[in-house]
Structure 1
Amino acid sequence: MVDGLKTYGNEEINKKFEGKTPVFICTIATTDTSKIHGISGAGASEELNMYTPAADVEIMKYGAPHCMEEIPETVSEGEAAPTPSMLTKACLDLTGCDLEVVDAGCEIRPDLDCYTLSNSHGGDISTGKAVENPKEIYEKALEIGKKLSERYDYLVIGESIAAGTTTALGILKALGYDAEYKVSGSMPYNPHELKLKTVNEGLEKAGIKPGDVEVFDAIAAVGDPMMPAVAGMTIGSSKPVVLASGTQMSGVCAVIKAIKPDFDFTNVCIATTKFVARDETADIFDITKQISEDITINAVDPKFETANHGGLNNYLEGFVKEGAGAGGAMFMALMEGKTIDEVLDSIVKTCSK
C-alpha cells in the first residue's frame, strides 16, 4: 500500500510504473462550448476559459503564464483555488520528469515548443459541429505515441480543456453509454441539466442516434479535439499509459474502444484525485465499467486538509477537483518513490510563490 493512493481495480498494474522513467504529456485544446455561461468553472470567466489551457502549460514550463497577465483561477469562494497546473508543476519539479505539450486545437496558442495537431479549435457542441478534422488529429497523435514510447518507459497523458466534462458526456452519449448525471465538474454545483441540454441539442442537429454512429463522426459532432489526440497517443504507444484526468478520460476510453474494440486496457490506468473518485455528483466508476472491466483507476489523496494554504482548501469543498493532469502527476511522483508528504510540500511551496 502506498500512502495517499487508493487503487480501484487491478493493483498489479502499478508495478508497470514503479521506478520507471515516464514522460508527462499535457494535451491542450479549447472549444466554443466553454463559452456557454455557467457550463465550466475552469477560468474566472467564459472569456478567460480560452486562455486557460495555454496558460496551464506555460505555468508547467516557466512557472508563470505568458499568454495572460494573471495565473488562471478556478471560480471559487474566498481565496482563489490554485489552478491544477500548479499542482502538476510542483510534481514535475519534484521528479524532474520531462514535459511534452500537444496542442490538439487551441484558440489561444501557448508560448512554447509543442506538437501542433490542428490549426482550428473546437466548436460549440450544441451546434452539432464540434471538431473539423478528428481523424487527422488522431493519425498525427498515433505517430507521437509511437515516437515517445520508444524513448520512455511509460507515458503520462494529461489534458487541459475547459468544459471537457460536457464534451465527455457528448461522446459517451453518442457512443451509447449511460453517462447522464455521471460526469464530474469543476464546481460544487454540477450543472448536469445544462450539460445534458447542450449535448442533446448537438446530437439532434447532427442527426445522431445514440449508439448508432461512427466514432469520428461522433467526435466531429459532439466531442472535442483533445479526445482523438489522447486516444491516438494511447493506441500508438508501445509502452504502458497513465491517463491523467477524471471523467474526461472515461470519454477517451470510450473513443479508444470504438476505434480498436480489442484494445488491451490492462496496459492502461486512469490516475486522478480523490476529489473525482469521491464526487457525489458524478460516477466515474460506473462509466468506466460500462466501457471495460479492465480499466483500473488510481486516486491520489494529496492531504490538502493538512496544508497551510487557504486556496488548496477549496479543493476539499468541491472546487476544481482535477485538471491539467494533476492527479496523474501526483501518481507519477508516488510511483517514483516520493512520499505523499513530499508531494504536498512541493505543491504548497509552488502555490505560495
Structure 2
Amino acid sequence: MFDGLKIYGSGDYLEGVTDRDALFICAVATTETSKIPGITGAGASPELTEYTPAADVELIVHDAPRCLPEIPQTIVEGEAAPTPAVITKVALELAEVPFLVADAGASVKPDVPYININSESGGDIRTGRAVSDPERIYERGLMVGRTLSCLTEHLVVGESTPAGTTTALGVLTALGYDADFRVSASMPHNPHDLKREVVMAGLSNAGIEKGDCRREPFRAVEAVGDPMIPAVAGICMGSTVPVTLAGGTQMTAVCALMKAIDPEFDFSDTAIATTIFVAEDSTSDINRIADQIGDIDIYAVDPDFGAASHRGLHEYLSGSVKEGVGAGGAMLLALLHGVPVEMVRERIEELCNTILA
C-alpha cells in the first residue's frame, strides 16, 4: 500500500485513518530506573537520561534543545546516533500535523507549552514503589483523550521515557504476560538479564508474583511501571477517534494495561506504529507480546537509513536507538499524508547535517 511500510495484522485500521486530519501528542516522563548503569542508551550517560525527554520535545518545537547544549544521542563504541526526535520533527513538518506535549511525569520540564497530566517522575522500580497514584494519572489521561479527540479525526500518541522497555517488562510481567527476552532496547546489546533482574527485585519488594496483578492493574504500574504507561492508556481509552500508539514495546505495556482495566476493550480503533528497527529486531519480539494481549495491528516504517550519507543514521542499522518520541508513528503519518519515505529520509539528513555540524 505504501512504500517503506510493513504491516503485521489485517491492515484494516489504515482505512479509517488515511487522509484524515491528525494530531500528534508526545507524553514525556522519567524514572530513577533510567539511572541504573547499562539499562538504557537514551542519553550520553545515565545521569543525562532525565534531560532526554525535555530535550527531545524542545528540539521538535524550537529546532534545538534548551535544557542541554546539544541534542540527545546514543553513543556506542564512540559512534553517536542522533535522537529519534529528528525523525519525528521532520515527518510531522512534512505531513503538516500539529505537535503537542503532555507531561506524564518528567523530572526536567521542557521549555515548551505542555499539558500537565502528572508532574511527579517515577522512582526506581527495584524498590517496588515506582509510581505514585497511577489511577489518578490514568483518569487525567482520560480527560485529555476526550478533549483532544474533539479536535481531530485521528490521534497519534508518542512517548519519550528513558528505560521505558524495562518498566514495560515490569508491568507486562506483573499482569501475567510472557515478555522475558522480548522487550526491545535502545542499544545493539539488549541487556535482558539486567532488565529481568531489576524487574524481579521490584516485584519481590512489592510482594508480587508474576500475574498477581491481572485484577489489580494499577498495582502493577505502582510497583514496577512508569508514569507514561497510565497516562497514555488514559488518553487512548478516553479518545472517541482512532488512536495510533507511536512507539515500540513500551506501547504493548500500554495495551496490556488497557486490556486489564477493560477486558472487553476493542482494539479495532487502536494500533501500534513503530520503526522497522523494532519490528525486525532480533533481540526482541513486539509481535509476540502484542499477540498475547489482543488483535492489535502493528505498522512498521522503514526510513531506509542504509541509503543515508549521515554516519550517525547508520547506527540505527546496527541496533542503536531503534525508536522513540513517536518516530514510527510520525513517519506513518507522513505516508498517510502522501509524503514518500525518501523525502522523509532526505530531510532527516539535512536536519542532522545542520544541527550536528
Does the alignment reach a TM-score above 0.5?
yes
Look up the match of 1:263. Answer: 265
8 A contact 1:157–1:230 mirrored in 2: yes
1:244-296 C-alpha deviation (Å, 9 max, x unpaired): 0000001110001011111110111100011101111111111000001x100
Which of 254, 257, 279 in structure 1 is aligned with 2:256?
254
Report the residue type matching 1:348 in the other structure.
E
1:110-132 C-alpha deviation (Å, 9 max, x unpaired): 01111112231000001000001
Q: Partner of 2:101: helix, strand, or coil?
A: strand
8 A contact 2:236–2:243 mirrored in 1: yes
Which of 221, 224, 228 in structure 2 is aligned with 1:222?
224
Percentage of matched positions with identical amino acids: 55
What is the Cα deviation at residue 133 of structure 1?
A: 1.7
Report the residue type matching 2:287 in the other structure.
F
Look up the match of 1:177. Answer: 177
1:300-319 → structure 2 map (5 Å cutoff): 300-319=301-320
Look up the match of 2:203. Answer: 203
Look up the match of 1:36. Answer: 36
Which of 234, 238, 241 in structure 2 is aligned with 1:239?
241
Give the TM-score, by structure 1 length: 0.98
Q: 2:144, 2:323 → 1: CA distance? A: 25
Look up the match of 1:6. Answer: 6
With 297-306 and 337-346 compared, the bigger mean Cα shift is at 337-346
With 336-345 and 214-223 compared, the bigger mean Cα shift is at 336-345
8 A contact 1:77–1:314 mirrored in 2: no
What is the Cα deviation at residue 77 of structure 1?
A: 3.9
Contiguous gaps of at least 5 residues in structure 2: none
Q: 2:31, 2:281 → 1: CA distance? A: 25
How much is the aligned-residue C-alpha RMSD, in angstroms? 0.8
8 A contact 1:90–1:346 mirrored in 2: yes
Q: 1:195, 1:212 → 2: CA distance? A: 19
1:120-139 → structure 2 map (5 Å cutoff): 120-139=120-139
Q: 1:27, 1:120 → 2: CA distance? A: 13
Q: 2:316, 2:77 → 1: CA distance? A: 11
Matched, 1:191 2:191: yes
Look up the match of 1:141. Answer: 141
1:287-306 C-alpha deviation (Å, 9 max, x unpaired): 000001x1000000100011
Look up the match of 2:288. Answer: 286
Q: 2:283, 2:115 → 1: CA distance? A: 35
With 126-135 and 70-79 compared, the bigger mean Cα shift is at 70-79
Q: Partner of 2:25: helix, strand, or coil?
A: strand
Give the TM-score, by structure 2 length: 0.97
Q: Partner of 1:26: helix, strand, or coil?
A: strand
8 A contact 2:103–2:119 mirrored in 1: no
Q: 2:251, 2:261 → 1: CA distance? A: 15
1:91-102 → structure 2 map (5 Å cutoff): 91-102=91-102
Report the residue type matching 1:283 in the other structure.
D
What is the Cα deviation at residue 79 of structure 1?
A: 4.2
1:198-238 C-alpha deviation (Å, 9 max, x unpaired): 00000000011221221111100000000000000000000
Aligned residues: 352
1:16-55 → structure 2 map (5 Å cutoff): 16-55=16-55
Q: Partner of 2:46: helix, strand, or coil?
A: coil
8 A contact 2:4–2:301 mirrored in 1: yes
Look up the match of 1:76. Answer: 76
Q: 1:206, 1:267 → 2: CA distance? A: 34
Q: Partner of 1:23: helix, strand, or coil?
A: strand
Q: 1:114, 1:261 → 2: CA distance? A: 32
What is the Cα deviation at residue 76 of structure 1?
A: 2.6
